């Protein structure tokens, strides 16, 4: 039964469906659940920094249930989006209800969409990568696949990485620098891939061009079938989803810096270059994303076998709680700055 603990990740879309059905003030239920109730649970439940044995790791890797728990997010996300659009286009909603549902769906797009897409994007199987990209579509962030895999994992914890927050940089500043720089980087990476393979810009191999077409087609279809209100809803929900992702990016590497070797190159990515959290609630609802240090250390490891490393910098709170803390920059700096090794500060 403990293998099914990750079903708890579906509690977020479940609450979202409830908010969508009840509407009114319940439109904000997902926000309360994700950023009030879950942080409280993180403070109540103990930290678990134990690692599984090599034998148990092998057993987990053989169980397909861990993969299907990821795949199930695809229909859940799309059903929620479609039902939300139907509701928006057929029901007279108050402005506050519309806004609440935008955030509701946006949170699901970030947690059960982009976060799961991140895990699947590191897989080698074509069908898993396809599901990952499909989950990125309604969040309007398909370029994340290219920039994250070919850019972030190469440059993490360096000044060259737009997804690494600098020391004393606020999350609000980071949203703008990371979002725009990552998009530009994704195009740069794509152009290099095309050039290396002797492909032209107008090519079936130009994934970035496909992403633009697919996302434009998605919004166009929404506009045709659900009108302008549906279009605005899909657009703003996508923005909420990728801003949520960027908030996670902010806390994952905040202030950390890989040192340069005598040759002038950066040292290889180690366990010390990402913030780790062993708070069990955040680990479960985010599919072990909070064990981010091990993910960067060994990118190919699946979420169910990620380890905790003692030498990794440890967050005082789980990721959901830390995201709330980041919204108050002076408090975030007071809590986090003293935890960063002086020689590693990314300023």
Instruction: List pLDDT tens digits, range 117-171.
Output: 999 999 999 999 999 999 999 999 999 999 999 999 999 999 999 999 999 999 9
Helix %, strand %, coil % of the chain (to 5): 70, 0, 30
DSSP letters spanning 138-163 = TTT-TTHHHHIIIIIHHHTTSTT-TT
pLDDT at position 347 over 60: no
Query: Across-strand partners of 279?
Result: 47
**pTM exceeds 0.85:** yes
Q: Quick one: tokens of 340?
A: 């960063």
Task: State pLDDT tens for residues 69-82.
Answer: 999 999 999 999 99
Confidence grade of residue 345 (pLDDT, cut at 50, 70, 90) = low
Confidence grade of residue 300 (pLDDT, cut at 50, 70, 90) = confident
Task: State pLDDT tens for residues 10-57.
Answer: 999 999 999 999 999 999 999 999 999 999 999 899 899 999 999 999
Report the SS3 class of residue 47.
Answer: strand
The whole-number pLDDT of residue 263 equals: 85
**b (16+ CB within 10 A) / e for 24-46:** eebbbbbbebbeeebbebbeeee
Neighbours of 317 (CB within 10 A): 18
Kindly give the interhelix angle for 207-253 and 73-90, rounded to the nearest 10 degrees: 100
């Amino acid at each position: 039964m403990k293998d099914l603990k990750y079903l708890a990740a579906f509690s977020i879309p479940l609450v979202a469906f409830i908010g969508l059905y009840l509407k009114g003030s319940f439109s904000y239920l997902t926000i309360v659940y994700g950023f009030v109730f879950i942080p409280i649970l993180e403070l109540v439940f103990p930290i678990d920094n134990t690692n599984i044995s090599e034998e148990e790791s092998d057993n987990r890797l053989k169980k397909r249930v861990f993969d299907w728990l990821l795949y199930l997010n695809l229909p859940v996300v799309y059903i929620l989006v479609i039902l939300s659009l139907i509701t928006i286009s057929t029901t007279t909603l108050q402005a506050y209800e519309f806004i609440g549902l935008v955030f509701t769906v946006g949170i699901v797009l970030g947690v059960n969409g982009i976060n799961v897409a991140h895990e699947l994007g590191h897989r080698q199987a074509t069908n898993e990568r396809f599901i990952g990209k499909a989950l990125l579509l309604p969040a309007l962030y398909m370029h994340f696949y290219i920039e994250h895999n070919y850019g972030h994992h190469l440059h993490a914890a360096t000044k060259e990485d737009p997804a690494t927050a600098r020391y004393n940089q606020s999350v609000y500043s980071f949203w703008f620098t990371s979002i725009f720089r990552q998009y530009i980087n994704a195009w740069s990476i794509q152009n290099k891939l095309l050039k290396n393979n002797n492909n032209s810009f107008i090519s079936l191999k130009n994934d970035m061009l496909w992403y633009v077409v697919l996302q434009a087609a998605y919004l166009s279809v929404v506009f045709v079938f659900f009108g302008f209100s549906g279009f605005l809803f899909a657009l703003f929900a996508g923005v909420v989803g990728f801003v949520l992702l960027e908030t996670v990016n902010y806390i994952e590497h905040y202030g950390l810096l890989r040192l340069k070797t005598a040759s002038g190159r950066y040292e290889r990515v180690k366990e010390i270059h990402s913030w780790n959290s062993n708070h069990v609630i955040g680990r479960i609802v985010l599919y072990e994303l909070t064990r981010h240090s091990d993910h960067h250390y060994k990118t190919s490891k699946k979420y169910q076998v990620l380890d905790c490393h003692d030498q990794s910098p440890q967050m005082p709170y789980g990721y959901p709680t830390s995201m709330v803390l980041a919204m108050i920059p002076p408090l975030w700096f007071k809590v986090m700055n003293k935890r960063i090794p002086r020689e590693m500060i990314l300023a």
